[in-house]
Structure formats: structure tokens, C-alpha cells
Amino acid sequence: MKLDIFKYVYNKGLPGEWRVEECQLSPINLIVGKNASGKSKIVRTIYTLSQLLSNSRSLLPQAKSSEWHLLFDIDRSEEKTEYILKIEKGLVIKEKLIIGSKSNEPLLDRDESGKGTIFAKELDQDIRFQTDPTELAVVKRRDSIQHPFLEDLYQWSSSLRFYEFGTELGKNFMWVPPFPRDRELSKNEIKVKDARSVVGIFVLGKQEIGEQFIDAIISDMTKIGYQLLEVGIKVPSFINSDISAADSSEEVPQSLYIKEADLTSVTEQLEMSQGMFRALSLFIQINYSLLASKPSCIVIDDIGEGLDYQRSSSIIKLLIDKAKTGLIQLIMTTNDEFIMNGVPLEYWSLIERTPGSAKLHNIYNSREKIEEFEFIGLNNFDLFTSEFLLQKEGDEEAA
């Protein structure tokens, strides 16, 4: 599934209302905007919904109200999927799922009481159900025989990956091997959706995928300017030297290390620069997702934060190339000049912030303005600083 259209409202009709106006997304997206314009909030609302739909997060009782409206696969009439969810104070007030373009009859529809109807394929009819108001019906009613149409939504949400590039991405987290050490890991032992679990994800990837996984990481790091010969795990050197990596104790932690081509010794996880480790962590987790778990969507907040011009430009090009394979939808945010200049305007969504709302301008609703700007011949960052895309008709004459 691919998320095509997204709308969100928080605290509708109340003080503090904030909304994301209807936005159409591409397979590759760079959301740009000034500080405090809502970049991180927008991608977090998508991530939060994915957690709810995959049953990895409970409803938030303190939230006054949140309402999502999503459309998937709008260019495939039979698979077009519309999902609406409204939550107030930890209770589901409205939930509806419609699939296909020929009928507006929902396959699932429930109200604030938890009562609703859902189509049962084997019975070929709608059946009534009662769901706890604190639970999502699309999660609790999952049944691949009677309700197979719920599986795509679950797969989209459970395979979505969210990374905050401006954070440590697991730099201060080590991994404790299971006991006994020679047994294989299971995916349930590693929180693959938690970016802080990067060491465990690396071990899992090496176990499941093998050298192809290691080679992909080294190749990606080389492409952005880090010439690596080796990536692995070891007992950190700050731990007492009398503890061996081969020790049978289950309490000996491990961390990542790299071997650079121009250095004689290895560089341990805590010795790496923050920029280098962010890139390494991201490539470990993305390559594991691509080679093992096949993500539906990768969301990266503040992409390139902490990297120099050359590396930030290279990492963007690399990520776009991965997304062009068609295996994933890529959604990134930035306010960095280097990143903006390195991403074609066809992938941009520029935030127009007004009191209580954020509207995204892109090729779907502002194509003529984007093409007009490209004809001028300025660099991409000038589109951001000039607010050319946000000018209304008559503004230029008035100026």
C-alpha cells in the first residue's frame, strides 16, 4: 500500500486546534519548512497512526481529540482504500474503512459505543460486532478468512519505519547477547521498529541475511564518503579487559565498531562522531528493512542533520535511489539548505503555516508555480527563502 492523501485534525473546534490540510503525497517526499512550521508534527501524526493500527501503541487518554483521514492507492480503483479514525480522550468515536471506488459502502463502520458492522467474506454479508471503545476495530477484528481486507492496512502500519535523524539513533545503547550465546535470535527479541535497538538489529540482519547485509552497509557508507573495510560488534574497550567477548556470561554487552581504510585500529561506537554514527545506524536499519522485513514506508525526520554538505547531499541521493526501486515510499523532512538544493522540486512539499494549520504545497496543487520557478533558474533553496510558492495571485504586482 502507498499513502496518497493525508489529513489530520487535533482538538477540532476547540482552543488549540491544529490541522494538516489535505495533502497528496508522492512515492518520494521532502517536507520543507521553517522552524516550528510543523514538519516534525506532520510526520509524527503519520507515525502515531501506524503505531495504533499495528497495535504497538495504546490510545492516549489525555489527548482531547485526534482525527485522521487517509487514502491509499488512489490510482488503483479496485484497491483504493479510505480509512477514517477519530479519537477523543482515549476512546474511539468514529472508525470507517472503504475499499474500492465503485461503492461508498464501508466494509467496516463503527461508532462511539463500539458497535458496528463489518463485511464477512465467507458469509458474503455484513455482520454486527461490538468492540471495546478503547480499541481499534481494524486491529481487533483481524481475521484473514472472514476479513482479509484488513491485512493490507495492518501490513502497511506494522512495516512503516520512523527515524529521527537529529537524535542519537542508538549511539548510547549497547546490546546484551541472549543466553546461551550460540542460539539464534528471534525477531521478537529485537525491537526492530525502535531505532535505539540498532546493535541488535545489526546482529539480527547478519544472522538472517548474511554477507549481503554487511556488504550493503559498507557500500552505502562508502557512497557518502566513509571508506569502510569492516563493520561488526565487540565488547566495548571501556569494559574491564578481563571480560572476553567469548565469555559465556549473558551480562557482557556488545556495541558496534567499524574499520576505516585509512586507520590501523577500529573505531568503536562511542568513539564515532555523531554524524558518522547517525549515518551508520540509519543504513543498518534501512538495509535490514529492505532486505528482510520489506517496509511499506520509511519516514525520516531532519534528514542529514549533523552531516557536512557532501555527505548530506550523498545520503539524500542514495535514499532517493533506494526509493526509486518502487519497494518503499520515502517521506523526509528538513530545513537544511544543502538538503533542499540536492532534492528535485518534484519531490518537495513546502509548508505554508497559518494559525492552527499547516498546508503543504507540491506538484499536485502548485505545479504551475513550481514550473514557473524552475524556469527562472535559481537554486532550490531560493524557493524556500523567497516564499515564491506561497505567494497568491496579485502578490508580486503588489510588491
List, for residues 85-122, the tens digit of each pLDDT value. 999 988 999 999 999 865 678 999 999 999 999 999 99
pLDDT value, residue 242: 53
pLDDT in tens, 294-305: 778 999 999 988
Please report which confidence band the pLDDT of residue 399 belongs to, taking 50, 70 and 90 as the band edges: very low
- How confident is the model over 253-278, as a mean pLDDT? 93
Higher local confidence (pLDDT), 274 or 101: 274
pLDDT in tens, 198-254: 999 999 999 999 999 999 999 999 999 999 999 999 988 888 555 554 554 456 889
Per-residue pLDDT at 182 exceeds 80: no
Q: Over pLDDT 90: what percentage of the chain?
A: 62
d(CA 374, CA 31): 18
35-49, 365-379, 384-398: segment of lowest average pLDDT? 384-398
- How confident is the model over 154-178, as a mean pLDDT? 91
What mean pLDDT, rounded, does the chain reach? 88
3-state secondary structure at position 211: helix
200 residue type, one letter: G
- How confident is the model over 152-166, as a mean pLDDT? 93
Please give the angle made by the CA atoms of 170, 175 and 177, to the nearest 5 degrees: 160
Per-residue pLDDT at 185 exceeds 80: no
pLDDT value, residue 384: 86
- How confident is the model over 363-381, as a mean pLDDT? 89
Angle, helices 39-53 vs 151-159, to 10°: value is 130
Q: How far is CA 376 from CA 74, 349, 388, in A?
A: 33, 19, 11
